Amino acid sequence: MEYKKIISERLSTLTGLSTETIEKLIEIPPKPDMGDFAFPCFQLAKTLRKAPNLISQELKDKIDKSGFEKVEAVGGYLNFFVDKSYLAKNTLSKILTEKEKYGHSNIGKGKTITIDFSSPNIAKPFHVGHLYSTAIGNALYKMFSSQGYKCVGINHLGDWGTQFGKLIAAYKRWVDEEALEKEPIKELLRIYVKFHEEAEKDPSLEDIARMHFKNLEDGKEEEVMLWKKIKEVSLIEFNRIYDMLKIKFDSYAGESFYNDKMDEVVELLQEKGLLTESKGALVVNLDEYNMPPCIIKKSDGATIYATRDLAAAIYRKRTYDFYKNIYVVGTPQTLHFKQVFTTLKLMGFDWADDCIHVGFGLVKFADKKLSTRKGDVIFLEDLLKEAIERAKELIEQKNASLENKDEVAKVVGIGAVVFTYLKNNRERDIIFSWEDILNFDGETGPYVQYSYARGRSVLRKANGYDISNTDFSKLNSQEETELIKLLASFNDVIINALEKYEPSILTRYIIDVAKTFNKFYNLHPILSVEDEMLKNARLALVDATTIVIKNGLSLLGIDVVERM
């Protein structure tokens, strides 16, 4: 906000401190009746050798108060109250003019950001854990795009690796072709689980699996054919889920895509003299950085994921010339990415510093852990369907006359799930509970969507309003001012969230907006107000609020409904 600048400039001339240091000190008081901005004078107390409350008093007398309703000295604080009608007018007209572009900016113009997210493993079910990366990555994609960055969404499919040896071995032994036709992933999961059970009894299966993978790498016909088939049926299922979530990728270049790009990486490492042999494997030693070595080639000569990640990073730099290269991958892989980024740096690529691992926590049950190998998973599709079902029930219960119930149930149900995933700090684990995730009360997606629908309903009934016949200075209740101030900070919030790669900051902001709006809605009549100027001003405020909620949710990949 420009207010901080104005305040710091005025204080700078009075105190001699730089505008920058002052701007950093300026804070927002905990309660609205204490003002909109505050400057703590405690630090000045030392240099001026004067009590903080005397300093604030003195500054209060001397400072230029134009543009502010008033300036007060409370204890060691200098509190500023902004001119509310000015704020209301500026904020609301800006929102109503910019509409769906409100909150957007151009600070990323000309810069490309690659975002690696979702990236499920082929042949394994898309379970509730995968939504974490998918939701965060998609939100970051939309948020960065809104600030003018060109984003490239990459689904780095797990379509290579020794697991395919296992799968091929299992396929040849136990697959039920009929079941595979009907529910491919479920059947693949079944034989994958069976493989692990059988391998416990007969460890030689592991060797057979390794052999199959080696054959696959060597391009043997049977293995390649099976691999292709598995990949094909998996993608059909994944796309069904991405469609439900309305998520699109710009690239599906998965692990197998880099098969022919790894020799070059090995050569480059060789040239730089970074490779050493250790226990039969080729590694980059990272002792100096207090990390275990980065393995480039296994002792059997086969490649490993670190090699692929190196190849992928180099490919992405060459292809997209990224400004930032983001990986939305779980925190357990923190060390792996440190190793890869450090290796890139050692290879002489300064852009290694632009590679960012955006980690997130685990999705787990209260008691046990999700495990694909044991078949202990909840399919994301089942969760989404359940949520839609629950939303449908609530509609029948609360608004049975609604026209497009199924459509609304879909938006609300899916919105509730995605919202839950984006509500908390991403590094926190999500404890999965049907009860919590299907509870649509309180700080949830449906709550926010409901607030939006309420606002839209008022606007529909108003049947338009005359923005030119408005007196914004009449929006002076505490609820109205608070709401306006919140709406004004939308862009700041997005920027702040992006700096931390943390969508939850935006999610919580939207909750705040909805909460403040509901208070306003409950306390102040809108349509029945006789004063036409006030009525129009309130309608403008409702209009602006719905715009911000809609834009905000859209950045999180969540839709709104006009009625619910």
Distance CA 313, CA 330 (A): 18
**Is 130 a residue of the active site?**
yes
Task: Give the E-state strand segments of 400-465 in sequence order.
Answer: 430-432
> Which 55-114 positions form the footprint of RNA (CB under 7 A)?
74-77, 79
State how far the Cα of 345 lies from the Cα of 359, in Å rounded to an integer: 20
Contact partners, residue 162, CB within 8 Å, separation at least 6: 209, 210, 213, 302
Q: Which residues pair with 153 in a beta bridge?
A: 115
Judged by beta carbon, residue 112 or residue 451, the one nearer RNA is 451
Contacts of 380 (CB under 8 A, 6+ apart): 126, 127, 128, 130, 131, 241
Region from 14-22, 38-46, 239-247, 348-356 binding RNA, contact rule CB under 7 A? 38-46
Does 527 contact RNA by CB under 7 A? yes
Q: Which of 408, 497, 541, 560 binds RNA (CB under 7 A)?
A: 408
- Could you say whether residue 117 binds RNA (CB under 7 A)? no
Cα 258 to Cα 43, 83, 263, distances in angstroms: 56, 59, 10
- Interacting residue with RNA among 458, 471, 533, 559 (CB under 7 A): 458
CB of 177 to RNA, least distance (A): 26
Contact 503, 132 (CB under 8 A): no
Among positions 454, 474, 485, 550, the unique one binding RNA when judged by CB under 7 A: 454
Q: Which is nearer to RNA, 112 or 154 (CB)?
A: 154
Q: Which listed range, 87-95, 128-136, 172-180, 452-460, lies at the site for RNA (CB under 7 A)?
A: 452-460
Q: Indicate which single residue of 167, 295, 326, 483 sits in contact with RNA (rule: CB under 7 A).
A: 295
Q: For RNA, which is the closer residue by CB, 350 or 367?
A: 367
What minimum distance in Å lies between the beta carbon of 161 and RNA? 3
Instruction: Return the residues of window 503-522 that contact RNA according to CB under 7 A.
Output: 504-505, 508, 515, 518-519, 521-522
Considering the rule CB under 7 A, would residue 342 count as an interface residue with RNA? no
Please pick, among 4, 84, 89, 127, the residue that the annotation labels catalytic: 127
* Residues 6 or more apart in contact with residue 559 via CB below 8 angstroms: 246, 411, 415, 553
Non-local CB neighbours of 104 within 8 Å, separated by 6+ positions: 98, 146, 147, 148, 491
**278 part of the interface to RNA, by CB under 7 A:** yes
Q: Does 17 bind RNA (CB under 7 A)?
A: no
- Which of 413, 557 has the CB closer to RNA? 413
Among 95, 269, 453, 548, binds RNA (CB under 7 A): 453
Residue with tokens 């719905």: 546
Helix (H) / strand (E) element for 388: namely helix 380-398
3-state secondary structure 308-361: HHHHHHHHHHHHHCCCEEEEECCHHHHHHHHHHHHHHHHCCCHHHHHEEEECCC
**The pair of three-digit structure tokens given for residue 203, joined into one six-digit string:** 């460890």
Residues facing residue 70 across a β-bridge: 81
**Which DSSP category does 70 fall into?**
E
Site string for RNA, 420-449 (x = CB under 7 A): ---xxx-xxxxx----x--xxxxx--xx--
Interface with RNA in residues 364-383 (CB under 7 A): 369
* Contact residues for 221 (Cβ-Cβ < 8 A; gap 6+): none
158 binds RNA (CB under 7 A): yes
Q: Does 32 bind RNA (CB under 7 A)?
A: no
Q: Is 54 in the site for RNA (CB under 7 A)?
A: no
Interface stretch with RNA, choices 61-69, 135-143, 303-311, 346-354 (CB under 7 A): 303-311
Residue 425's contacts (CB-CB under 8 Å, 6 or more residues apart) are 502, 504
Question: Judged by CB under 7 A, which stretch of 7-15, 63-71, 294-302, 379-387 contacts RNA?
Answer: 294-302
What's the CA gap between 89 and 67, in Å, rounded? 14
Q: Which residues on neighbouring strands pair with residue 280, listed in sequence order?
A: none
> Is residue 162 involved in binding RNA (CB under 7 A)?
yes
Check residue 546 for interaction with RNA (CB under 7 A).
Answer: no
Q: Exactly one of 4, 89, 130, 474 is catalytic; which is it?
A: 130
Q: How far is the CB of 179 from RNA (least distance, A)?
A: 25
Binding of residue 24 to RNA (CB under 7 A): yes
Task: Answer yes or no whether residue 261 interacts with RNA by CB under 7 A.
Answer: no
Among candidate residues 84, 89, 124, 410, the one labeled active-site is: 124
d(CA 216, CA 221): 8
Stretch that binds RNA, among 25-33, 124-132, 197-205, 377-385 (CB under 7 A): 25-33
Near RNA in 217-256, by CB under 7 A? 255
Are residues 76 and 41 in contact, defined by beta-carbon separation less than 8 angstroms? Answer: yes
Q: 124 catalytic, yes or no?
A: yes
**58: which 2 tokens?**
């003195």
**Number of residues in contact with RNA under rule CB under 7 A:** 100
End-to-end CA gap in the chain: 35
51 touches RNA by CB under 7 A: no
Please report whether residue 47 would count as binding RNA according to CB under 7 A. no
Residues 344-363 that bind RNA (CB under 7 A): 362
The one segment of 182-190, 293-301, 378-386, 543-551 that binds RNA by CB under 7 A = 293-301
Q: Is 212 a catalytic site residue?
A: no
Q: What residues are annotated to the active site?
A: 124, 127, 130
